[in-house]
Amino acid sequence: MGNVLVFIQHDQGKVQKGALVAATAAKQLASAWGASGVVGIALGTGAKAAATEAAAHGLSEVRFSEDQLFEKYRAEPYSRAVALAAREAGASAVVALASSSGKDFMPRVAVLMDAAQASDIVGVNSDGSLRRPMYAGNILAEVELAPGNRVVTVRGTAFPAAAKEGAVGEVSELSISGDPELHEQPRFGEILGYELSKAERPELADAEVVVSGGRALASAENFEKVIFPLADALRAAVGASRAAVDSGYAPNDWQVGQTGKVVAPNLYIAVGISGAIQHLAGMKDSKVIVAINKDPDAPIFEVADYGLVADLFQAAPELTQAVKSARG
């Protein structure tokens, strides 16, 4: 078997933690599948800097392209470029974080490479089989991929980030002329714009601490008044239950749960969240879970390490003050 290629997701040249998580999974896969080594590919503005940073994390070679085709993420050119990089690097497996873009373009890479794909893996067995959640995390499956090329996306909370290593891999540019189909085509999508949430707080997906609010907040104003100060005192990311999002208290991309984001921070504080299965699927792997809810029978208490039965409108501000004074 050849190399394993890992997709280096970055933000304007800064490697995202999730890319290093994918690199760890790629190394485990390389070892379980008897691959020769792990190489990388970075695309878009700042890709050269990202490739250079990633190369210090145990990758033998990292390719990059800052061609304008990759300036804004789009599934069609990204999948073609990743498949091209795999071909040129002699890679028979490609690994990426199961982020919104990783989920979006990786199946296209699988088709271009005629590969078998496993999505959202949480573990690699020594015999080369993979572990992945199914049925909203209620069931863990052990799956085997057919021989030949393979594509894998990785759950961001399931592996540690790859550490810096002494040796630094070679960094070189990928020439997109290697794929005649890879130039601006009328068949590619075109980005018309973005509506992005203001990034004043840590990213939900890789924050150390997450404070989430639920339906009991009862309004967007309360959500802001109660949850934001606690999150800011803890330097935490803000999450929300599906009920809170559906009621318009918080934006869609804050939703923690089966159909939203899966998080596993050191500390997860659920405020006014009853704990529907849907929500638990997104946070039950957190290290320490705290629940504040006035209903003593709320299912959230069944997974919480520390449960406080209290009115959130009193308890949450009190906790905010306590954290502030503890931190000086």
Partner 1 sequence: MKILVPVKRVPDWQIKLKLLPDGTGIQTDGIKWIINTFDEIAVEEAIRLKEKGIATEIVLVSIGPADVRQRLEYALAMGADSAVLVKHEGPSDSDLAARAIAEVFKRGSYSMILMGKQAIDSDSSQTAQLLAARLNLPQACFASKVEVDGTNAIVTREVDGGLEKLRVPLPCVVSTDLRLNEPRYAALPNLMKAKKKPFEELSLEALGVSPEVKVKVRALSTPAARKAGRKVGSVAELMSALQGEAKVL
| 235-254 binders of partner 1 (CB under 8 A) | 246, 251-253
Longest dimension (CA), the chain: 63
Residue 282 CB, nearest approach to partner 1 (Å):
12
Among 220, 235, 204, 216, CA closest to 315: 216
Tokens 């803890």, residue?
234
Please name every residue paired with 256 in a beta bridge, in sequence order, or none if there are none. 261
Is position 12 an interface residue for partner 1 (rule: CB under 8 A)? no
Q: Confirm if 150 and 38 have CB atoms less than 8 A apart.
A: no
Q: Which is nearer to partner 1, 111 or 163 (CB)?
A: 111
Distance of CA 311 to the CA centre of its chain: 33
**Closer to partner 1 by Cβ: residue 160 or 164:** 160
The nearer residue to partner 1, 32 or 143, going by C-beta atoms, is 143
Number of residues that bind partner 1 (CB under 8 A): 84
CA distance 91 to 230: 46
202-231 footprint of partner 1 as x/- string (CB under 8 A): -x-x---x----------------------
Q: Which of 179, 200, 224 is nearest to 80 (CA)?
A: 179
Stretch that binds partner 1, among 39-47, 132-140, 170-178, 218-226 (CB under 8 A): 132-140
Locate 146 and state its tokens: 């057919």
CA dihedral 307, 309, 315, 316 (to 10 degrees): 50
Q: How far is the CB of 293 from partner 1 (least distance, A)?
A: 11
- Out of 12, 14, 90, 144, the only residue in the binding site for partner 1 (CB under 8 A) is 144
DSSP 174-188: PPGGG-TT-S--TTS
Binding window for partner 1 (CB under 8 A); candidates: 59-67, 141-149, 165-173, 210-218: 141-149
Q: What part of residues 49-108 is at the interface with partner 1 (CB under 8 A)?
A: 74-76, 79, 99-101, 103-108
Burial class (CB in 10 A: 0-12, 13-18, 19+), 36: middle
User: Contact between 116 and partner 1 (CB under 8 A)?
Assistant: yes
Nearer to partner 1, 26 or 118 (CB): 118
In whole angstroms, the minimum distance from the beta carbon of 255 to partner 1 comes to 8
Is 163 a binding residue for partner 1 by CB under 8 A? The answer is: no
Identify the three-state secondary structure at position 264: coil
Binders of partner 1 in range 165-204 (CB under 8 A):
186-197, 199, 203
